[in-house]
Amino acid sequence: MTDRPKIGFIGAGLMGHGMAKNLVEAGYELTVLAHRNREPIEDLKSRGAREAADAAAIANGAEVVFLCLPGSPQVEETVFAILAVAGPVTTIIDTSTANPVSTRALAERCEAAGITLVDAPLSRTPKEAWAGNLDIMVGASEAVFARVKPLLDVIGGKVVRVGDCGAGHTMKLLNNFISLGYAALYAEALAIGAKNGITPEVFHSVIGGGRMDCGFYQTFMDYVVGGNPNAHPFALANAHKDMRYLVSLANESGIASHVSSAVKNGFATAEAIGKGSDYLPTLADIVGGLNGISGQKL
């Protein structure tokens, strides 16, 4: 990889927009894939990026391709499209939240084609993506990590190698299991409290600022008691997808998935009743509403 490789970026959505913005502003020659949401694409073009019509066009003009896609099916489709092109791509950096089983299989396919696949999923929010201050969990050999870290430092504030390829996506699922488990706990605790005379405001006055407080709790409660609809812009459908991957990984590993399956089922219920596009803290409304709590929205 040269000091200034040509970069392709596929997936300029909530997180990808800010990441791509930081790469082009750092001086990298950037090509972005056309997207149904034109606003981020037009913004990136105004900053100096070029637009490509499809993944093949990206693969024909880039040495490094970043992916920031909804999940493994989209990642697989895109990687196969890149592999079908005998272009200059040497490295694919997948920042999506994906199934590690799929990731490891894709890495073998890429290696056979002379391309290195790096899984580098993200933590934090679109705000940190815009600021270039994401947490990034990287699955790569030590040599590959050293090679791609200058690129990841452009978009991340905390860049950690967690193991070889597949380890990044594994760590991301563990991270999300903990955070989404918190969401399930908060929602159920609030419902139990509401049935027994404890309002969300009273709940927050005790938990907030105490030992059980954390950044995730604050964004969750910024919706519940603060009424901020965009406090945590992460869709319940994505939460369900991540928990399906985590439970699948547990099953693949022979681990009894008592807690993770229970958390997954809560998000499956939310999506099944048509709330998949709603943001994560609205789980409190859903759990409350399903339990007949007055004022909770379904």
pLDDT tens for 231-290 read 998 999 999 999 999 999 999 999 999 999 999 999 999 999 999 999 999 999 999 999
pLDDT digits (tens, 9 = 90+) for 99-145: 999 999 999 999 999 999 999 999 988 899 999 999 999 999 999 99
pLDDT number for residue 1: 46
- Contact partners, residue 40, CB within 8 Å, separation at least 6: 12, 13, 16, 17, 20
pTM of the full structure? 0.90
Active-site residues, by number, are 172
Mean pLDDT along residues 31-51: 92
Comparing CA positions, the residue from 70, 78, 67, 10 lying closest to residue 44 is: 10
Can you tell me the distance from the alpha carbon of 135 to that of 99, in angstroms, rounded to the nearest whole number?
A: 19
Mean pLDDT along residues 201-223: 97
Domains and CATH numbers, the chain: 7-164 (3.40.50.720), 170-290 (1.10.1040.10)
N-term to C-term CA, the chain: 51
Gyration radius of the chain over CA positions: 20
**Element spanning 161, H or E:** strand 156-163
Q: Looking up tokens 């159920």, which residue turns up?
A: 188
Mean pLDDT along residues 62-67: 97
Could you tell me whether strands 91-94 and 116-119 are parallel, antiparallel, or unpaired per DSSP bridges?
parallel
